[in-house]
Structure 1
Amino acid sequence: MQSTLATAVTFHGTGLHSGRPARLRLVPAPVDHGLWFRRTDLPPRASMVPAQWDAVVQGELCTRIANADGTEVSTIEHVMAAVAGCGIQNLLIEIDGPEVPILDGSAAPFVARILSAGTVRQGAPVRALEILDVIEVRNGPALARLEPAGGLEIDFSIDFADAAIGRQEKRLNLANGTFVHELCDSRTFCRQADVEAMRARGLALGGTYDNAVVVNGAEVLSPGGLRHADEAVRHKMLDALGDLALAGAPILGRYTGVRSGHALTNALLRTLFARKGAWRMIQADAALLARLPGAGLMPEDAPRRAA
């Protein structure tokens, strides 16, 4: 059965790129509502923005969506990953400005509050997106691929010159609580050398050592160091789940990312939906539901790190 939150939860923080204060509220929604953002600072007629692959517009270092009126919401990937990783299909995400708060730079605070609030089953079956063919997009050395699999799997590799990151690879089946236990507390990251360049372009204005992992060569500058030795690739997998959640349904397929990012993952979804016969929607029975992200999670599964 489809799921939504048992009760609303609220977050206060700062936009990573805008540096503006932000208030975000996750609100239960009815059957077949899907995932929508609502800008509470705008008139109702222009406030609703669908969390869908075809609503994505160009954005730097984040995922940004917009509606036909030009209303935008950016840096949605972490909250989208939390919602997908907790197995929620119906939700209204209210926000009082153009950017989701970064919180601690991971999805852990969102996950902790979602699991604390609890979810409720609704009176309609879950529909899943089954990948039937191999779909691949490339941009220079970067690639993103979807291919058939019995559940959602993510296989990711990155390669950075900084020794604090270097080359990292990880592959996970996201059935049950894998996202919550393995990925959700991994934070966004950047190189110290890139910080001033980003700020000169109006980016990372809300970034701090407390909401991002900042590295300089072999040194990790953020207090407390890394949460995982391979935190960087785990965070890239987190981002990929959030971007794949814009498909509008849980995916049954293997996602492979090689140096890929938000734009390439969205290009992959656009290529997928443009190709007839490469996918189909199926109704999830109990056995399939058990293989989807979020199945069987309990409040005690909440991550220990949650700002």
Structure 2
Amino acid sequence: MIFQNTLGNKVTFSGIGLHTGKTITLTLRPAEAGTGIVFHRVDISPAVSIEAKAANVVATRLSTTIGHDGATVSTIEHLMAALYGCGIDNAHIDIDGPEVPIMDGSAAPFVENIVKAGSKACGKAPRKYLVVKKPVTVIEGDKRISIIPSRHYKISFDMEFAHPAVRSQFRSMVFSNDCFSREFAAARTFGFLAEVEMMKSHGLALGGSLENAVVIGDEGILNEEGLRYPDEFVRHKILDSVGDLALAGYRLFGHVKSVKSGHDLNHKLVTELLKRTDAYAIVELAPEGVLPINIAAPEFTYQAA
């Protein structure tokens, strides 16, 4: 699409916050071109608005949290991934608590209902793309994430855990709305039983259960229904990456390569990329659906993914 999109109608979600354990309701509303994604903490008087941008990230422990004027909204990554995956550029989000509901632990409930609400173009306002021109890399110990020039938006993820139920998994995705919705949106968040018990003892994961997460015990998966995909863990890592990287504020053209990355490293990559103004260009699609030539390399003509 060459024009910015918003929701066709309002859509409301209600559920438990993974870490707070509180019941929270949020409503997505259509927004005008150039608005971006904006959360409004309507349980605070006066309401506090928080733009979903990397500059507003205040915490990345266990989830991604944005904040402004003392108000925060955490665990935004699954909803952000759903909005990006459904092609929604602009939306207002009214929320009556400090955390996005975890739903079933995936982005699928958000995607399903956003699709039902429909979408519409924001007039003739062109959609803006961030096209990577030079590689940008962040390394911390054995964790690494980079983004390099590419004709598409692509994410490759390599993960490894010292547990027989997980071990190593690798998957790569060339992003499209259909591919994300069909193959990644339903992948659930996961955690190890010992870590979940420790988090609850520290006042975290209070809303976590087998209804909204895959829990891994010493002998394997505790969920009776098992996994939705044989490689559900790495698919969820890619889902998280889509949501975290959406905080760049633009649709992306670049290949993200992750090794054991998480919310913190995802955020650091976006921050480092936006600092490196020589490493990217902000462009608009031409009417025929192509990006300008010579953005990253003379031989490249970028095609819309």
Partner of 1:77: 77
Match for residue 236 of structure 1?
Answer: 237
Greater fraction of residues in strand: 2
2:35 aligned residue (24, 33, 38): 33
Alignment of 1:37-116 (within 5 A): 37-44=39-46, 47-67=48-68, 69-116=69-116
Residues 34-82 of structure 1 show CA distances to partners (whole Å, capped at 9, x for unaligned) of 11000110123x5100100010012420000011x11100000000000
1:138 aligns with 2:139: yes
Query: Unpaired runs of 5+ in structure 1?
Result: 293-307
Query: Once the 2 structures are TM-superposed, how far is the Cα of residue 288 of structure 1 from its aligned partner?
Result: 4.4
Number of residue pairs matched by the alignment:
290
Q: Residue 81 of structure 1 aligns to a residue in which SS? A: helix
1:12 matched to which residue of 2? 14
Instruction: Confirm whether residue 220 of structure 1 aligns to residue 218 of structure 2.
Output: no
1:15-36 deviations in Å (ceiling 9; x for gaps): 0001011001111101111110
What is the identity percentage for the equivalent residue pairs of Structure 1 and Structure 2? 43
TM-score by length of 2: 0.92
Task: Structure 2: state its 5+ residue gaps.
Answer: 292-302
Which residue number corresponds to residue 297 of structure 1?
A: none
Q: Provide the secondary structure at the position in 2 that maps to 1:2.
A: strand
The one-letter amino acid of 1:15's match is G
- State the TM-score, normalized to the length of structure 1: 0.92
TM-aligned CA distance change 1:217 to 1:284, over 3 Å: farther
Q: Does 1:291 align with 2:304?
A: yes
Distance 2:234 2:290 in 1: 27
* Letter in structure 1 aligned against 2:43: D
Aligned equivalents of 1:288 and 1:99: distance in 2?
Answer: 38
Structure 1 distance, partners of 2:115, 2:60, is 30
- Offset from partner CA, 1:112-155 (integer Å, 9 cap, x none): 00111110112211000011110000111111111111121000
Corresponding residue for residue 294 of structure 2: none
Give the Cα–Cα distance (whole angstroms) in 1 for the partners of residues 173 and 32 of structure 2: 31
Pairwise CA distance, 1:216: 1.5
Q: In the aligned structure 1, how far is the partner of 2:115 from the partner of 2:276?
A: 37
1:186 maps to 187
Aligned-pair Cα RMSD in Å: 1.3
The equivalent of 1:23 in structure 2 is 25
Conserved 8 A contact 2:85-2:176:
no
